[in-house]
Structure 1
Amino acid sequence: MVGVVVVSKFITHENANEFSGMVDYMDREEAITNNNISLSIKGVELNIIERKLLSVINSTGSTDINTLVKDENLKNMICFEQKLFNKKEKLTRYDSNYIFKKFFNKNGEFLIENIEKSFSKTRKNVDTNELKKEKTRINTRLKKLESLNYVAKNEDNNYILNEKAKEEMKNFSGFEFTIYDSNKILKLVRDNKYLKSIQTKLSNDLDIGTKEGKYNYDYINKRINNNIKFGYIEEKNGKLEITEKGLVAEDKIINPHRKFIIEEIKDLELKSDEFKREKEIVDEKYSVINKLEYSGMIDYMDRKKAKSNNSKEDIGLFTDNKDLLDLTEKNKLKNLFNKCQNNGGIMWHDVISFDNKFLEKHGIYDSKNKVLDNTKLKEVVRDSANEMLKKEKLNESAIWCADIHYNTDNIHVHVSTVELNPSKTRGKRKPKSILAMKSKIVNGITNNNEQYKKINDIIRKDIIENKKKVKSLDNIKLKKLFLEIHSKLPDDRKQWTYNYNTIKHVRPLIDKMTDIYIEKYHKKDFLKLKEELKKEEVNLKEAYGEGKNNSYKQYYDTKMKDLKTRMGNTILKEIKEYDYNLNGRKIKKNFSKAERKIFVKNSIVAVCLKKIDRIMDNSYEHSKNQRDYEKSQNEIAKNEIERN
């Protein structure tokens, strides 16, 4: 399962009639499908069966096995490729219970005359042509069985059974549900619910006064009794019903390639669940967008058939500050999209596809009643859209609109963004921006803030803060490394920062100190941290999928690196204090009276400068906050004017 998939596109003003056409496109009555199938999934070449399977999935819009097994082309292709079953390549029940038992004697020798005897036993008159056809069928099969080493020819050029055949015949003893039961017996039960009515029908249809009629009547009744005995049919007060076991067995007969298709779908999902989700989105035929106005996307997003939902809440287009746009607001938005296009701007379009089970797990979707928490999802989309604006540094004139769609297997959200005063000439966005957008979505849905806080508290409060209370020089192992690091650090104390390139030669020693300290003082905390990180890794894998780079593992590595960095800087700070006490005070003692006055004066100046810096910082922050507040007030006023 991949919880969230994001597919992003962009359209330039040269490639569309009007940006407002995107609005109309998003509100069209039906989604357009596309039958073009990619020949590979993330570099993995698909074989002919996989390509055909994807084609059927694409044309039907579903991966439901009941839909797929109805496709005759797919069925024929699978049978032709012999990937599922090839009964002719091994001994079958037909070989064991019909050919071997009827036409071979106790010594295992083939008797061709038994074919004629079998025919005459069940038929009043033996049809010469039918008998000839039966002999040909049996001889053809015997040749195949000879090539498979089940039979061989003796000196008289007659077929005899091998030990291999005798041994495998044991596997076919007893009753087996066959195509005859599916097509004949179960059909009888469906057409005639009562055993009495079945007997009446058989008596009317079969001439039981003849050998053939009596044989068929007895055989059918024997099959009915065996179906009852082995649980494929159930008898209650003379009434017959097909059991669940019978339905499953029938399905295997009718759709023998069902199991293979299920396995193939699973294989495709293993290759990339994201591919199917992305394909589902791309199959809405974005090439059509290029023929539309930018504002057509708004109508496309707002089309009714994509938004059927049992929720009592209103559903439709929403923006950063509006939960549901009315017709007037929608038209205003379309005009703004066209303004962007007329100004030579770019329109970005993102589709966020959710795994419904992922949404349900986190309490946002009720699959039973098909109800979605629109309010929560809109909140998440807002955060992600605004994060994308921030990461891409789009200017203040950027606006976006979004809508939630339900017309595919996965609930998904369309988000379209434009700049009224274009600042970008390049449509392609940084991968980090899309990832940041996706991260906001995942965090918003999973409510990972609490989990992240728990992890950060273990690192910062439980481990790092306590290190400040523990003196490295009080521990023999730590002291030895502490002094060694101090002796190898450069003279410039400004460079004594963990990630500074000039101290990379002592970084392994610092990490070793970290390991010793954690093992000695925080073993349980570290185990708890790893446990929490592994939990989060599972959550992220579920949300992001495995992907090419296994990005879900990055969080674990990042947090471990964060721990080492913070511990490293804490150790280096302790070394700085040690160095100051060791060298700084010695310098003071050696000062002359005049030098001491200068030192004190400089120290006072340094303190004053620090205070001034703090005052300036506070003043700047206050000024910045004031500007932000005024800006938000202006935006509110602007929105009021637009509404009126």
Structure 2
Amino acid sequence: MTRPAIVNVSKFVAAGNKKFASYVDYVDRDKAIRNEHFSAFNANRFDGYHRYMENPEKSSGLFTADKNSLTQTERKKLKDTFQLAQKNDSIMWQDVISFDNQFLKEEGIYNPLTGYLNEVAIQESIRVGMKATLQAENMEASAVWTASIHYNTDNIHVHIAIVEPYPTRDYQQFRNKKTGELYSARRGSRKQNTLDLMKSKVANNLLDRDKELTRITELVHQRMIPTEERMNQFLTLPMQHLMQSIYKELPEDMRKWKYNMNALDAIRPKMDVLTNMYINQYHPEDRSELNLALNNQKEFYKRIYGEGTKEANRFEDYKTNKEQEFYAKMGNAFLKECINIRQNEKHAFHQKFGESKVFQPSTLTRGTLKKLKDSLQKDYRSMKNQRKYQELQEEMERKS
């Protein structure tokens, strides 16, 4: 069974907890003193690989969202921030991100023979993971965090402490498990999806997987969607026959014309066949490329989360989900234009016969099929222009 490459363990403590107070006491000390008193403020007794987190023999200095190392003055300022959070009754979250050393070795991030570790790469991956984590928990504007890299013989791990100087978490009623008494405290739990997101973002950044994910997204949402160059060939005779069959079977209520609606359960397989006809005729190479990329990404998740783990099981359907995403994209593009065609038919019918007549939808004629083609061309141009705009915005953000 494959050992997970990355494990994330999280715990939180209230402002009145001794671990919180001890962390504040030592946050401005040098790393040697912090290492010596590590157990006093460490709330995580388990890191995913070790049963107990002993005091580290070696650690890096503290780093933050925008600093790779802190001066004494900066550590003092950070301590003031943590003291303010404690005074305002903030939760303190302590996360441990543990790496399998063999994994780091294979990726050229760690050399056990020389002791070299690419700390900058680790720090940057933690920053990317923390940004996504805080966004997911609506804490991006309110939270302050600090972290340090710890070394030992079996695995390298990063300890992270997060507080809110001005807390945003609501108070809730909880029951003491020992006494049964009710008490009020801030909500500290975080969603499992958030913890999964942290691991995923750290791994993607550390291994530069973002380009691979972007390629998958491009294949799913752009390259295999009908293009202007292929549009004149898109409506082949077999496709026209299948499209007419689908159109005739659509329910009267156009609000149900969405790919994943239950009302289209019987029609959805036909839409998938239409999609396959298009892909097999015009994009067989892209389909092969997508399959390879999805298989590689699935193996990546297996390596990161470990075989047989709960986390890995959640990603076993990654390939199927991405393919389904593409089928839905194609299906909804077709259904959107079918709505336009039906509305135009209704408008023309009522203009000719009046509102009192009962409208009976027709089958798709060559004229309506041409309108469908023109509308899809317009949708494609809009989608392409939107993507260009997003790329421009991302480029501007990188330069800012």
Q: Same fold (TM over 0.5)?
A: yes
1:69-468 equivalences under 5 Å are 278-280=48-50, 283-284=52-53, 305-307=57-59, 315-394=60-139, 396-424=141-169, 425-466=186-227
Distance 1:9 1:408, change over 3 A: farther
**Aligned to 1:556, what secondary structure does the other structure show?**
helix
Matched residue, 2:241: 480
Contact 1:19 1:337 in 2 (8 A): no
> Contact (CA 8 Å) 1:482, 1:575: kept in 2 or not?
no
2:226, 2:234 within 8 Å by CA — same for their partners in 1? no
In the TM superposition, what whole-angstrom CA distance separates every residue of 1:31-59 from its partner, at most 9, and x where no partner exists?
669xxxxxxxxxxxxxxxxxxxxxxxx9x
Report the counterpart of residue 563 of structure 1 in structure 2. 326
CA contact (8 A) 2:131 2:140 kept: no
CA deviation digits over 1:371-412, x for unaligned, max 9?
122222111111111211111112633100001111241111
The answer as to 2:294 corresponding to 1:533 is: yes
Shift of 1:6: 0.6
Corresponding position of 1:469: 231
Paired AA for residue 334 in structure 2: I
TM-score, normalized by length of structure 2?
A: 0.72
Structure-2 change in CA distance of 1:410 and 1:532 (3 Å)? same
**Higher helix share goes to which structure?**
1
Q: 1:6 to 1:426 in 2, by over 3 A?
A: same
Q: Deviations over 1:199-258 (max 9, x none)?
A: xxxxxxxxxxxxxxxxxxxxxxxxxxxxxxxxxxxxxxxxxxxxxxxxxxxxxxxxxxxx
Residue 506 of structure 1 aligns with which residue? 267
The ranges of structure 1 where at least 4 consecutive aligned residues each deviate by more than 4 angstroms after the TM superposition are 30-33, 470-473, 580-592
Query: Structure 1 counterpart of 2:8, which letter?
Result: V
CA contact (8 A) 2:14 2:20 kept: no
How many residues align structurally? 328
User: Structure 1 pair 452/28, CA: closer, same or farther in 2 (3 Å)?
Assistant: closer
Which entry has the higher C-alpha Rg, 1 or 2?
1
Change (3 A) 1:388 1:409: same
Which runs of 5 or more residues in structure 2 are unaligned?
170-185, 356-392
Q: How many angstroms apart in 1 are the aligned matches of 2:250 and 2:227?
A: 25
Q: String of CA shifts for 1:171-196, please: whole Å, max 9, x gaps.
A: xxxxxxxxxxxxxxxxxxxxxxxxxx
Partners of 2:246 and 2:211 in 1: CA distance: 37
In 1: Cα distance, 2:24 partner to 2:266 partner: 57
Q: Secondary structure, in 3 states, of the residue corresponding to 1:354? A: strand
Q: CA deviation at 1:494?
A: 4.6
The answer as to whether partners of 2:81 and 2:165 remain within 8 angstroms in 1 is: yes
Query: Percent of counterpart pairs with the same letter?
Result: 33
Q: Deviations 1:285-325 (Å, cap 9, x if unpaired)?
A: 7xxxxxxxxxxxxxx8xx7x322xxxxxxx41011122211
**Shift in Å, 1:588:** 5.3
The CA deviation string for residues 302-352 of structure 1, in whole angstroms up to 9 with x for no partner, is x7x322xxxxxxx41011122211223223322322322222221000000
Query: Where is the strand percentage greater, Structure 1 or Structure 2?
Result: 2
Partners of 2:65 and 2:200 in 1: CA distance: 18
Q: Secondary structure at the match of 1:28?
A: helix
Read off the aligned partner of 2:84 and give its amino acid letter. K
Task: State the one-letter code of the partner of 1:306.
Answer: K
Residue identity in the other structure for 2:272: D
Determine which structure has greater relative contact order: mean sequence separation of CA pairs < 8 Å that are 6+ residues apart, divided by chain length: 1
Contact 1:473 1:479 in 2 (8 A): yes
Aligned to 2:155, the other structure's residue is in SS state: coil
Give the partner amino acid of 2:23. Answer: G
CA distance in 1, matches of 2:287, 2:348: 38
Question: What amino acid is the match of 1:571?
Answer: F
Uncovered stretches (5+) of structure 1, i.e. residues with no partner: 34-57, 59-274, 286-299, 308-314, 593-624, 634-644
Partner AA of 2:21 in structure 1? F
Amino acid at match of 1:452: L
- Is 1:29 matched with 2:31? no
SS at match of 1:352: strand
